[in-house]
Amino acid sequence: MKLFKWDFLKIIRDWKVRILLVSLFLFLASYSAFYQDRSIVLPLEELRSEYEDTQQIFHAIPQNHFDSATGQEVYDKLARQQSIIGMQRYILDEQEGNTVSGLENVVSDYVDQGLELAENRLFFYEADDFESQELLLSFMPAKTEIENDLKFLTYLKENNVDIDWNPLSPSFVLFNLINIVAGIFIFIIAAIFGADRFSRDQEFNWSISQGIPYSWTHQWRQRSFISWALIWIITLAGILVSYLFSTLFTDSGTLNYPVPLYSGEETVYVSIMQYVILALLLTMALSYIIVKLSTGLSWVFRNIYLTITIVTAVFYLPYVFALTGPAAGWNPFLYLQIIPVLEGAWEPLKNVTVTKLIISIAVLYIIVEIVFHFIFKLIPTRTGRLERRKN
């Protein structure tokens, strides 16, 4: 514990560390401000496009194809689709929530209408005897997408959450920020923080930092933990400030708003809050391993640039292992990227789940521990580089 205090002071008194911490905080805290400047496609505009598509369907499909019983049903549902989209556009345009105050009986409820719309579209996939089904479906979203829409809208209904007309609402900004932090961003931060934890002592403070009665493994774990804790104190503070700051721009949205989460074989919808907590916990766990790797490599190479390059390159390992096909689902190195797992980007590889992600993080932790146990045991501290005193 006594050594912890001095290792902490050594790190926090380093001007490079201070500048990095301040920069990290400023970037994260101001993220929401920069996010407001991006060009976005409002849900309203998407609906406008869908409305035009529906109109074109009527022109594209030969009129006599609607004459059959199924054709008539398709016609009615398409007409209803156009009506629903029109009302949904109006609801979004008014920016009041799922309906428009005073006009509830006219415009009805966005979610109920959305559910009806999704079910109608699924009907189109079932209408095999409709002569222009192929043409009709070319105007429709993919079946999986419609099923996900259904889950999304069901979540809204069950949790009594309003549709959010604003993609810049604080909860969306938070969601995007977490996805950025959980990516290459945290690898680079972890690499930079760990990259000279030992090399600095080896280069500039050798005689004062060697020969102390603590094992290298102990010092490695301690220094890694301090760097990791500093990174996350600042990161969480920055994320919180960013979120609070974004609430100044707009008060729409809620942390209960649903976002997709890939859970093995299908997508489920969880609240942004749940997603943020899950993604942050996983990223914190993975980043601890990365900081340990970076700190350990700084003991091996004593070259900050080489260490940063190697650690950053580790982020891209999953792309290599993804080439191995379905077997990759059992490869712990595939899980060095968290967001593709949560988003289901590795879905084609099969069996890529959050549970396996958690197990893989534990496996990676053990691998790093074992590797550095041998490195610290087998590599002497100062072979071939004995320097004379400088005085």
Partner 1 sequence: MSLEVKNLTINYGTKTVLKDVNFNIADNTIIGLVAPNGTGKTTLFNAIIRFIPINTGEILIDGTAYKNTTKDVKALHNKITFFPDQAELYEDFSGVEHIEMYRDIWNPESGNIDEVIRRLNMEGYVENKVKTYSLGMRQRLCFAMMIAADTKIMFMDEIMNGLDPVNVELVSSVLQEIKEDGKIIIVASHLLENLDDYADQIYFLNEQSIYYTYIREESHREYVKGYISEDNLKSVGPLEKGTLYLAGDRICIPADNLKEDEVFKLMSTLKKFSTAEVSLGPLGTHEHYLRIYKGERSYETV
Binding flag, residue 382, partner 1 (CB under 8 A): yes
Q: Which is nearer to partner 1, 31 or 376 (CB)?
A: 376
Smallest distance, Å, CB 290 to partner 1?
Answer: 25
Q: According to CB under 8 A, which one of 213, 305, 355, 374 is a site residue for partner 1?
A: 213
Residue 390 in the binding site for partner 1 (CB under 8 A): yes
Can residue 102 be called a binding residue for partner 1 (CB under 8 A)? no
CA pair distance 112, 362, nearest whole angstrom:
44
* DSSP for residue 109: -
* Cβ nearer to partner 1, comparing 88 with 219: 219
C-alpha torsion 213→219→221→227, nearest 10: 150
391 lies in the binding site for partner 1 (CB under 8 A)? yes
Give the position of tokens 């201070």.
18
Q: Residue 57 and residue 46: Cα distance in Å, rounded?
A: 17
Could you tell me if 349 and 322 are in contact, meaning their C-beta atoms sit under 8 angstroms apart? yes
Residue 50: closest CA among 96, 117, 122, 135:
117
81-100 positions binding partner 1, by CB under 8 A: none
Nearer to partner 1, 13 or 38 (CB): 13
| By the rule CB under 8 A, 58 interacts with partner 1 | no
**Site membership for partner 1, residue 51 (CB under 8 A):** no
371 binds partner 1 (CB under 8 A): no
Contact region with partner 1 (CB under 8 A), list: 100-108, 152-160, 252-260, 374-382: 374-382
Structure tokens given for 371 = 């590797």
DSSP state string for 275-296: HHHHHHHHHHHHHHHHHHHHHH
Does residue 300 touch partner 1 according to CB under 8 A?
A: no
Of 159 and 205, nearer to partner 1 (C-beta) is 205
* Six token digits for residue 277: 């907590």
- Interface pick for partner 1 out of 83, 144, 207, 250 (rule CB under 8 A): 207
How many whole angstroms separate alpha carbon 312 and alpha carbon 318?
A: 12
3-state class (DSSP) for residue 227: helix
Q: Is 160 in the site for partner 1 (CB under 8 A)?
A: no
Element holding 190 (H helix, E strand): helix 186-194
Residue 206 lies near partner 1 (rule: CB under 8 A): yes
Residue placing its CB nearer to partner 1 in the complex, 14 or 347: 14
Between 102 and 213, CB nearer to partner 1: 213
In terms of CB distance, is 172 or 376 closer to partner 1?
376
Can you tell me which of 38, 41, 211, 355 binds partner 1, judged by CB under 8 A?
Answer: 211
- Asked if 19 interacts with partner 1 (CB under 8 A), we say no
CB of 222 to partner 1, least distance (A): 13
Interior angle at CA 177, CA 295 and CA 293, nearest 5: 10
Distance CA 316, CA 158 (A): 39
Report which DSSP code applies to 198: T
Please provide residue 337's backbone torsions phi and psi, each rounded to the nearest 5 degrees: -115, 120
CB of 4 vs partner 1, minimal distance in Å: 10
Q: Which of 13, 37, 41, 102 binds partner 1 (CB under 8 A)?
A: 13
**CA-atom Rg of the chain in angstroms:** 27
The residue count for binding partner 1 (CB under 8 A) is: 32
Gap between the Cα atoms of 157 and 213, Å rounded: 62
Minimum gap (Å) between residue 204 Cβ and partner 1? 6
Phi, psi of 92 (to 5 degrees): -65, -40
- Taking CB under 8 A as the criterion, the residue among 58, 204, 316, 319 binding partner 1 is 204
Residue entry with tokens 């409709």:
130
Residue 302 in the binding site for partner 1 (CB under 8 A): no
Q: How near is the Cβ of 376 to partner 1 at its closest, in Å?
A: 8
Cα–Cα dist 382/286, whole Å: 31
Segment interacting with partner 1 (CB under 8 A) among 93-101, 160-168, 348-356, 380-388: 380-388
Cα separation, 215 vs 240, whole angstroms: 37
> Residue 370 interacts with partner 1 (CB under 8 A)?
no
Site for partner 1, rule CB under 8 A: 2-3, 5-6, 9-10, 13-14, 204-208, 210-215, 217, 376-377, 380-384, 386, 388-391
